[in-house]
Structure 1
Amino acid sequence: MSAPTDDLLERERELAQLDALVDEAVAGRGGLALIEGPAGIGKSRLLAALRERAADRMLVLGARCGELERDFSFGAVRQLFEPLLRADAGGCERPNLLVGAAAPAAGVLGGPAADDATAAAEGSFAVLHGLYWATLELAEERPLLLAFDDLQWSDRPSLRFLAYLARRLESTPVLVAMTVRSTDPGSDPNLLAEIAADPLCVPVRPGPLTDAAVAALVRARLGAPADARFCDACEEATGGNPLLLHQLLRALADDGVRPLAGEAATVREIGPRAVARSVLRRLTRLSPETLAVARAVAVLGDSASLAAVGRLAELEEPQVARAAGELARADILQADPPLGFVHPLVRDAVYRDLSTAERELAHGRAAAALAAAGAADQQVAAQLVHAPCRGDAATVALLRDAAREASRRGGPESAVTYLARALDEPPAAAERTPVLLELALAESEMSAPLSALHLREAYDGLSDPAARASACFALVQSLLFTGGASEGAELARRTAAELSGDQLEERRMLESMQLLAVSFGAADPDNLWARALAEPPPAGGELGTKLLLAAIAFVRSAAARPVAEVLPVLETALEGDVLLHSRNGMMWSAAMVALTLSESPRTRAFLEAARAETYRRGGVFATASVEIWEGAWLLGTGDLADAGDALREALRLQDPWGADARGTSWSRGLIGQHGLLSGHDAATVRAELGEPPADDDESDGAVHWRTAQARLLLREGDAAGALALAELMGRTSRHLDHPAWRPWQSLAASALARLGRREEALAAIDGELALAERIGAPALIGRTQRLRGELEGADGIERLRAAAELLAATPARLERAFALASLGGALRRAGHPGDAREPLRAALELAEACGAAPLVEQVRSDLYAAGARPRSAALAGAAALTAREGRVAELAAEGRTNREIAQTLFVTPKTVEVHLSSAYRKLDIRSRRELSGALASG
């Protein structure tokens, strides 16, 4: 690596940190470098040095974020990738960069629109995943450095991409380097904090220059010798900030000030405004045309074209080019293209020299100049955001067009900004409701509370019943997750009543939301829940009917109806993949839960298809829905590691979206149950569970939360507390009966048994067993039989044996491990230690394979008590594979590469590598060639 230059004085430590990160990335261990500090401390110069030092080892892509460009959707990301899409350094196009899993990013990066609808970028989450894969494709060619300067001013869609990428950098040859002004909250402080908190993120914090360095620079610029008191004044005035010192010394040199003790007062007078004074003084010495160009670039932002600058400054392009050269020689603009200031503080000095009114008018003229130059609507809209409001219909139309484009390209934040500005314009009275509705729908992708607020107003302004039905559907969805379930259900009921007889699909769409609102604690005045159980479901139909059928299937499964009454409804609901293509997370959730509770063999295939659809075209809400219910299914199969990842990802998506405590109680409750099975300590589980539901909360989410809390109390020995919670569950949420969804009787039975109330405990578990047998789901019956057998003690051995045998034919490996552990323990306590060892060893292998640490510890203890030494070897063979390991192994056996498998399953290549390595170990093989045989023999 090259030695530090003069403008990198005292930066050896920081450069060494950055060099080490480059070495790691080149070796395939990706990471993040966050260069942070106040303005002028030298962050940009360090980033530039990093780019120079990495250029011979990595493909280097860079973006410079600007304060006035934060409303341009994916603006920073476009700066990174678009030069590559035009042509690389050798002039070769990259036609394959935006295909396959990367296809959803094509629209963002200006690529050709895809003919295949499944590849169109219509959801923000799909776009993030597409950009991630585009990044991996580039890194496959050569280790990659992505450099973001002044990230605090990045547009929010680009920040979302960085946050998404950061969590997936491990084991990739990608280094992301960012500079962040620590004194500026930025476009989105939460996203910036999330990126900074990533475990791979290494902070690089350049400090102020020492007294010795300040003195050396003073002597270099103003001549030697320099008086110590003069140097101290320079250090005091600038705090050792390199840029401020540079500008101060330039101003002093321009004024002919010599570095003498008597001039210290002059230093103190100039110091606080050194940058502005130095820049503006230089500008006054240049021509009026040059000043106009500087102001035009300040208004238009970095990377403005010569044509746009010329239009705004009212100059010809050759004049702009000459002025740009003068400004570069004056150390105001960068010498190399694109047009841009040498530092944001220099740009601020030029921009703030204009009054507020002058700036607003200049932005209005800039928008006109960009439009005349044929710029994209989003570029024009980003200027209009700062321009005066004039009630201009053309401005409203352009902002709406830009918002639609931003939403289609996966940037809802920019769409919200444009539409909010359109409302301020304001639009004509007849246009206000459509603009409000567009704003609310854009907000639904990023903020449920804001979306609900504007959807209410838009709904009130609509007169067409079909349009009101569509708005109502979106509003109810937001209300369900923000504490408004009762309001949403009543609104859906009233709106459905307004529809005419031929608007059947719209009515069914709203009835589906009324049904699901009951699961969020809403009342059901029309008894739709009871009717869904008693009346024949509708046949065929379009989307509204499919939505209603999915809701009816959920209702029937939650109410413990036989599987034979649920699965035919589900089959009709899922016909033609209409639900999948709707990208509606609510109805995916209803279908997924019904499939899972019914133990349908179709569950895995539907989850995989829903995941693929989401990652191709879906948004945040749909993705959170897929993650939570895939996590719930994996929890049921005993794949604890992957279940935890999915459930935490769901909660991570729900929190910034604005779901309230009730809205997140499903995911928090399931995460708590995962923590108990995995062996997390009580404090961790309580932290994962978070805020408890109110005692009168009738939602399904409250049931999941209380289930986890009751199991935690049982683990801690508080049987009375667990019983009280189980009884509360029995008094509430009476619309639910499925023991896997509301296991209050088995929880009560466990608590009663510990309290010595055996007969009551047996009565309670018998109630749950009767429900399980009515449903007819094998894993559920096996689980409940196991619980009954445990309560029976020595008399329950044969019941436990039957439960273990029944569970062996299901995917519920962890439940089978519990059954085998209970069987072995009962045999040991009954005086048959030899007979106990085999089921206990099988239980140990299964529990270890699932990652159920508490069960492993329990079984080991029983094995020692039975006179056996527990083997350390884990379960082997195809039966040992988790659900995701099995799917990865299947695809690998078909001949897919790791990257192809990752694209198929929408996971990272590292995840595939980990799962495949684990599969090889469990199958006792060493290559892909052996996979087919090993899987078949299993």
Structure 2
Amino acid sequence: MTRLVERDEQLSRLTALLCQATSGTGSIALIEGAASTGKTELLHSFARSADGACPRRADARGPGTDTPTDGTPADRTPENGASAHGRPADGGPGAGADGALLRLHAICSPAERALPLGVVSQLFLAPTLPAAFRDRAAKLIDRLASTPDTGAAERLTAQVLHGLCMELLALVNRSPALITVDDVQHADPESVLWLLSLARRIGPAPVLVVLASDIGPHPGFSAARTELLRYPHSDLIPVGRLSQRGAAELIGQHCGPSATHRLAPAFFSASGGNPLLLHALLDDWRTGRNMAGRSYRQALLTSLRRGGPAGLAVVRGLAVLRGHTSEALLSRLVGVNVDVVADTVRAFEAGGLLSDGDFAHPNGRAGVLDDLPPQQRVALHRAAARLLQERGEPATAVAAHIIAGEGADGIPATRVLLDAAESHLLEQRFAVAVDCLEQALRGAGDGRERAAIRVRLAQVEWRSDPRAAVRHLDQLAGDARAGLLTPGDTIEVCRQLLWQGRPEEATALVERLRAAPDDDPADTGARLRAFELWLMCTHPRPARRRR
């Protein structure tokens, strides 16, 4: 098993608390850090090493009671499955032998928040615990779960929680206990109340409770967190990202010195020191020498989903907006309160999932966008286009969302796309200009507008790849014959027809231009004369005038 990197201080503090508990002084510790920073790994590593961490007590008796809360005598006989103090008659692994450590573990989930005392059930109904203890605990849990929501419910809840605490304290009277609860921010409300009730009672008891929680906005746990940490026997143990040196050490556990020196800077930049992302980067590198590939994307998505529906909405909006964002704009786009947006972004930054309000690696953004359902992605891009247009952002920024959203709602999309195309052409970004013009063509209205856009699209493609422009020529020739093109655009079509070896069609269009009325714009005649001079030098046949 590889050693945990940069977690010695946390393990040392937890071990000290455990040794206090085995000596009869209980406490509660909260391991807290951003998503995927290694809290679960720390929790399990500590629990695995707990058995031999402290000297055994000479006298394990604590302040608990030997009498079960339902009034059953404590001096049970082997016939009913338990001995005194609620331990198994055979000294089995559930409660442990006198002085041995009893370990109880629970994992919380948002899916079980509606299950009253669901976390307590994981702890108290573990099959390794004495059967009689489990039976008494189950009765108490069932009493609360089956109680209708009446005025007496609050009193009954307090009685049940007290009873469960007393059962535990009786169980640990001769054996100290280590209770670990992972992802406690997702615990059901009744189990949170039980943890608070236990915290008020374990000061003089041989019990260490270790909770692990993500930082961030967790309305269901914030008040309980505040109360837990105000007790003198509580301890907050923060877990952060790895430093650059720590990231290099973790990489070095899997790669040689040369590879570590080469990979460490890029891996740290892409992960921000997040251990889960670092392991994913290593997986991608080992399997295919890929940088931030499939494992990285999946690990990032897994971590981001821990932010709940609001957190996932925020990061999806961030992926859609790219660099054109602010907390207020992001709030309007995804419909999440601006304070929640700010808290979420800070929490993700703290975990290395985001960097300076954006994705640390472009493949992270791509993974989030690929995970979006198509209809939702289109809707977000269309909403982003409208919001950016309202803010007066450049046409190029708005057009990118119109293209991604395959259209727009509530804004003059065609005009924006045409303006964006011209801006891209000034910067020699021909491919993006073509994208803008193609989307404008798909959304164009009447025949003349479509014809004009098609001409401009053919001109742009001609500049970058003349062969690509051929696909428009038949339609453009038909538009010119139908009178949908301006004289200037018709001249452009004639040039392309001649270049493609179609002089007869070009000649017919030239004759139409010569026969056009004289009320055309003043520059039309000049452009036509210039074109005819060019024809005389390059293509004499179309240039021949009618006698």
TM range (shorter): 0.3 to 0.5
Normalising by the residue count of structure 1, what TM-score does the alignment of the two structures yield?
A: 0.26
Task: Answer 1 or 2: which has greater helix percent.
Answer: 1
Q: Which structure's relative contact order is higher, taking Cα pairs within 8 Å and 6+ residues apart?
A: 2
